């Protein structure tokens, strides 16, 4: 049962920078809400001891992946770090399979062998889910390389955080992508903190969107709490990449409401700071207000709420009833035949 469908309307839009239609806003609202409710449920299951290890929640950053996904077409590749649940849901992977991976069950996307940080879907062109900070940036350049090699018009979206933006291989990848004009959209999700270290304390660069400038990579700073702004920026970047202009860098300023991982008390920032973002800049609330102005009533929102809640409840149920992987799975998937 397909519970989340891929939203693709990149090519349907005649021009960039225009506001989203009511239908698009509704779809975006629904996708963002699904991510938030999914993550809240994941946090709850973690608290119950059903999810182990590291678990990095995406709450607060939903507009980033949803806005960018709306500008992509089927076949475009996506790769990200370990804060990956939102990306998977945004690209149409099933909530059940993601949640069951979090609980380490057979029904998970990696059959319970990857966990929160390591999930993949060939079908949806989602290439993970990577646990080493910055490693996915070179891999993402490689996804773009394969498009360049095959002379197709796909683009590869490579997400990483402000923390990863200090890794050396990021700049090696910028250089390679710019040299070869690879169709790669580098997206820095700047949520202000690399674990507990603020971006000001970690990065001498004051404008991450210009970090590709020495290689001639065009960069744009985007308000990541505004779905329409993210979408509009992504359309520009996608168009440039598809036109063969080479890589594009988006610095999307966003905010995570929860700690770095479940075990992070987040004492490096004040409760007021978090509260201010939640009450004044929440991306989901902001889209909701726009939809209210466009005439969506309580009943309309409730229908979306109910749909999302049903998906998340079903996913949580599946994640708890799917069996643990059989011990024989220990010895599979190490090498392919040959």
Partner 1 sequence: MGVQILMPALSPTMTEGKLSRWLKKAGDEVKAGDVIAEIETDKATMEVEAVDEGVIAAILVPEGTEGVAVNTPIAELAGDNAAAAAPAPAAAPAAAPATVASLPPSLVPTPVIAEKEWGETKPITVREALRDAMAAEMRRDPDVFLLGEEVAQYQGAYKISQGLLDEFGERRIIDTPITEHGFTGMAVGAAMNGLRPIVEFMTFNFAMQAIDQIINSAAKTLYMSGGQMGCPIVFRGPNGAASRVAAQHSQCYASWYAHCPGLKVVAPWSSADAKGLLRAAIRDPNPIIFLENEILYGQTFDCPTNEDFILPIGKAKIERAGSDVTIVAFSIMVGVALKAAEALAAQGISAEVINLRTIRPLDIDTIVASVKKTNRIVTVEEGWPTAGIGAEINMQVIEHCFDWLDAPPVRVAGLDVPLPYAANLEKLCLPQPDWVVDAVKKIV
Q: From the CB of 162, what's the least distance to partner 1, in Å?
A: 20
Q: In this chain, which of 131, 192, 213, 268 binds partner 1, going by CB under 8 A?
A: 131
Q: In this chain, which of 17, 53, 74, 276 binds partner 1, going by CB under 8 A?
A: 53
Residues binding partner 1: what is the number (CB under 8 A)? 87
Q: In this chain, which of 29, 58, 82, 120 binds partner 1, going by CB under 8 A?
A: 120
Instruction: Give the tokens for residue 254.
Output: 């966003």
Q: In this chain, which of 141, 227, 277, 283 binds partner 1, going by CB under 8 A?
A: 141
> Pattern of binders to partner 1 over 218-257, x per CB under 8 A?
---------------------------------------x
190 alpha-carbon distance from chain centroid: 12
Q: Tell me if 6 sits within 8 A of 205, measured CB to CB.
A: no
Q: From the CB of 100, what's the least distance to partner 1, in Å?
A: 8
Exposed/middle/buried for residue 287 (C-beta within 10 Å: 0-12, 13-18, 19+): buried
Q: Tell me if 140 sits within 8 A of 167, measured CB to CB.
A: no
**Residues numbered 71-90 forming contacts with partner 1, rule: CB under 8 A:** 77, 79
- Render the burial of 57-88: b for 16+ CB within 10 Å, e for the rest: bbbbbbbbbbbbbbbbbeebbbbbbbbbbbbb
- Part of the chain binding partner 1 (CB under 8 A), chosen from 128-136, 196-204, 220-228, 238-246: 128-136
Q: From the CB of 232, what's the least distance to partner 1, in Å?
A: 28
> Pattern of binders to partner 1 over 173-212, x per CB under 8 A?
x-xx--x---------------------------------
Q: In this chain, which of 70, 119, 187, 277 binds partner 1, going by CB under 8 A?
A: 119
Q: How far apart are CA 324 and CA 109, in angstroms?
A: 13
DSSP-assigned letters across all residues of 69-98 = HTT--TT-EEEE-S--HHHHHHTT--HHHH
Residues contacting 265, CB < 8 A, separation 6+? 259
Q: How far apart are CA 2 and CA 247, in angstroms?
A: 33
**Residues numbered 290-309 forming contacts with partner 1, rule: CB under 8 A:** 309
Q: Tell me if 25 sits within 8 A of 63, measured CB to CB.
A: no
Strands (E), 171-290: 184-190, 193-194, 197-198, 218-223, 248-253
40 or 153: whose CB is closer to partner 1? 40
Q: From the CB of 182, what's the least distance to partner 1, in Å?
A: 8
- Part of the chain binding partner 1 (CB under 8 A), chosen from 22-30, 171-179, 190-198, 247-255: 171-179
Binding of partner 1 by 332 (CB under 8 A) = yes
Binding of partner 1 by 118 (CB under 8 A) = yes
Closest CA to 325 of 114, 137, 112: 112
Q: In this chain, which of 6, 8, 16, 50 binds partner 1, going by CB under 8 A?
A: 50
């Amino acid at each position: 049962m397909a519970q989340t469908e891929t939203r693709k309307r990149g090519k349907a839009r005649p021009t960039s920078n225009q506001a989203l239609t009511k239908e698009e806003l509704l779809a975006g609202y629904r996708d963002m809400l699904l991510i938030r409710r999914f993550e809240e449920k994941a946090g709850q299951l973690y608290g119950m001891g059903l999810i182990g290890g590291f678990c990095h929640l995406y709450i607060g950053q939903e507009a980033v992946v949803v806005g960018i996904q709306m500008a992509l077409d089927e076949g475009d590749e996506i790769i990200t770090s370990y804060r990956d649940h939102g990306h998977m849901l945004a690209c149409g992977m099933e909530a059940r399979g993601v949640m069951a991976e979090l609980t380490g069950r057979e029904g998970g996307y990696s059959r319970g062998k990857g966990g929160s940080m390591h999930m993949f879907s060939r079908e949806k062109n989602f290439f993970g889910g990577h646990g080493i900070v910055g490693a996915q940036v070179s891999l993402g350049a490689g996804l773009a390389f394969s498009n360049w090699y095959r002379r197709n018009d796909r683009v590869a979206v490579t997400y990483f955080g402000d923390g990863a933006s200090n890794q050396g291989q990021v700049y090696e990848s910028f250089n390679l992508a710019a040299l070869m004009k690879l169709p790669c959209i580098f997206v820095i999700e700047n949520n202000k903190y690399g674990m507990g270290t603020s971006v000001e304390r970690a990065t001498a660069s004051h404008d991450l969107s210009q970090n590709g400038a020495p290689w001639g990579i065009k960069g744009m700073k985007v308000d990541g709490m505004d779905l329409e702004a993210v979408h509009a920026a992504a359309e520009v970047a996608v168009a440039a990449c598809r036109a063969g202009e080479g890589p594009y860098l988006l610095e999307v300023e966003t905010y995570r409401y929860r700690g770095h991982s479940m075990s992070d008390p987040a004492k490096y920032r004040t409760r007021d700071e978090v509260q201010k973002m939640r009450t004044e800049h929440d991306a989901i609330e902001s889209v909701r207000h726009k939809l209210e102005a466009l005439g969506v009533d309580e009943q309309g929102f409730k229908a979306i709420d109910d749909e999302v809640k049903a998906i998340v409840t079903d996913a949580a149920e599946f994640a708890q009833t799917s069996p643990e992987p059989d011990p024989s799975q220990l010895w599979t998937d190490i090498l392919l035949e040959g």
